[in-house]
C-alpha cells in the first residue's frame, strides 16, 4: 500500500514546508480511527493556505484519505482534544518522512506531556465539566430528565478525561477503558448512570450528588492553570482575563469557572466604584 501511495506524498516531502508524513492503516474490519478508510496519509506542514485539507482516493478496490494539516491546527487539536484520533495517528502511525526529527520530537512531547500543557488541558476540561454539570442540574430541576441525562453523561466524560490528564496521559477514543484502570470510582459512576436499576430520575439525582463531590475534590488542580495566571497581578477585570493569550482556549467557560472558584473560596471579589450610585465594578483576585 505504501508503494501505491508514494506519488501522493513524495512531492510534498521534498517541500521544505513539510515537517512529517505518517501512514495509518486500517487493521480491523470496522475502524473509526480511519473513518473506515483503508488508510490515512497524514501530512504535517509548517504553514498552509488552509489550516487543514482533506482529499479522498481510490485504488485496487481500496480507499485512502489524505490529510494536510498545518502545525498550528495540529497543536490546537492536541490541546483542545477536538480531534481525538490525532493523538493515535501521531503516536502509532508509520513514519514515512521526518524532517529534522520533527515527528520524533512531537512524539516525545506527547509522551512526556509537559506540566504546562497538562495544566492548561486540565482547566479546559474542568470548565467543560462545570458547564455540563450546571446545565444538567438545571434541566433535572425543571423535570427535563432525558436532556439532563445527556448533560450528566457528557459531564462524566469530561471528568474521566480530566482524571486521565491528571495522571499524565492523553485521553484517547477509548477513554472509559483508560479510566477504568486509572480511577475505577469514576468508571463506577458511569456504570451506575448507564446500567443502574433505578429510575432515570433517581440515577441522575444520585450522579449529580456524586458529581458535585468529585468536581469539588478536583477544583484546585483542575483549575490550576487559571489560578496560576492570577499570580501575575493583584486583581483582574473580566475583560483583562478574556484578553489574556493563555486563557483564550477556555474563555467560553471563564464565567462559570470564576463563579465556581469564588464559591470554593479559591478566588475573591473586589468591588470598585463606578459613576453610578451603588453600582460597582467587579474585579477578581487570588486568595
Shared domain check, 127 and 197: yes
In 3D, which of 22, 77, 73 has the Cα closest to residue 46?
73
Residue 98 lies in a domain: yes
CATH, residue 135: 1.20.120.330
Residue 147 in grid coordinates: 436532556
CB 52 within 8 A of CB 85: no
The confidence score (pLDDT) of residue 48 equals 87
CB 283 within 8 A of CB 232: no
Spans of the chain below 50 pLDDT = none
Residue 275 lies in a domain: no
The confidence score (pLDDT) of residue 206 equals 94
Shared domain check, 52 and 12: yes
Question: What is the tens place of the pLDDT at every residue in 114-146?
Answer: 899 999 999 999 999 999 999 999 999 999 999
Number of domains in the chain: 2
Residue 140 lies in a domain: yes
Domain boundaries, position 256: 115-270
Shared domain check, 182 and 101: no
Shared domain check, 184 and 119: yes
The confidence score (pLDDT) of residue 1 equals 65
d(CA 23, CA 29): 18
CB 113 within 8 A of CB 91: no
The confidence score (pLDDT) of residue 79 equals 87
The confidence score (pLDDT) of residue 13 equals 85
The confidence score (pLDDT) of residue 29 equals 75
CATH, residue 20: 3.30.460.10
Shared domain check, 166 and 93: no
Shared domain check, 151 and 88: no
Shared domain check, 264 and 150: yes
Residue 228 lies in a domain: yes
Radius of gyration of the chain (CA): 22
Shared domain check, 251 and 140: yes
Residue 285 lies in a domain: no
Residue 54 in grid coordinates: 482533506
Residue 137 lies in a domain: yes
Residue 244 lies in a domain: yes
CB 4 within 8 A of CB 10: no
Residue with cell 492553570: 225
Shared domain check, 137 and 212: yes
The residues near 273 (Cβ < 8 Å, ≥ 6 apart) are: 280, 281
Shared domain check, 241 and 123: yes
Amino acid at each position: 500500500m505504501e508503494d501505491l501511495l508514494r506519488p501522493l506524498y513524495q512531492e510534498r516531502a521534498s517541500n521544505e514546508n513539510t515537517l512529517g508524513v505518517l501512514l495509518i492503516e486500517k487493521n480491523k474490519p470496522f475502524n473509526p480511527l480511519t473513518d473506515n478508510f483503508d488508510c490515512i496519509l497524514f501530512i504535517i506542514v509548517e504553514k498552509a493556505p488552509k489550516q487543514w485539507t482533506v482529499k479522498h482516493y481510490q485504488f485496487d478496490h481500496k480507499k485512502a484519505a489524505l490529510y494536510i494539516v498545518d502545525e498550528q491546527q495540529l497543536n490546537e487539536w492536541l490541546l483542545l482534544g477536538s480531534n481525538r484520533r490525532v493523538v493515535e495517528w501521531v503516536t502509532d502511525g508509520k513514519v514515512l518522512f521526518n524532517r529534522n526529527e520533527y515527528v520524533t520530537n512531537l512524539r516525545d512531547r506527547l509522551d512526556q506531556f509537559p506540566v504546562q500543557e497538562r495544566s492548561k488541558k486540565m482547566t479546559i476540561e474542568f470548565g467543560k465539566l462545570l458547564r455540563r454539570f450546571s446545565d444538567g442540574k438545571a434541566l433535572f430541576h425543571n423535570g427535563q430528565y432525558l436532556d439532563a441525562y445527556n448533560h450528566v453523561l457528557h459531564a462524566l466524560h469530561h471528568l474521566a478525561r480530566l482524571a486521565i490528564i491528571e495522571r499524565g496521559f492523553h485521553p484517547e477514543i477509548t477513554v472509559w477503558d483508560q479510566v477504568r484502570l486509572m480511577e475505577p470510582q469514576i468508571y463506577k459512576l458511569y456504570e451506575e448512570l448507564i446500567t443502574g436499576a433505578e429510575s432515570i430520575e433517581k440515577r441522575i439525582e444520585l450522579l449529580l450528588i456524586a458529581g458535585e463531590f468529585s468536581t469539588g475534590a478536583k477544583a484546585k488542580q483542575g483549575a490550576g492553570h487559571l489560578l496560576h495566571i492570577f499570580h501575575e497581578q493583584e486583581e483582574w477585570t473580566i475583560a483583562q482575563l478574556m484578553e489574556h493569550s493563555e486563557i483564550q482556549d477556555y474563555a467560553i467557560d471563564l464565567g462559570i469557572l470564576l463563579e465556581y472558584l469564588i464559591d470554593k473560596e479559591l478566588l475573591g471579589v473586589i468591588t470598585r466604584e463606578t459613576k453610578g450610585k451603588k453600582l460597582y465594578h467587579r474585579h477578581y483576585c487570588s486568595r
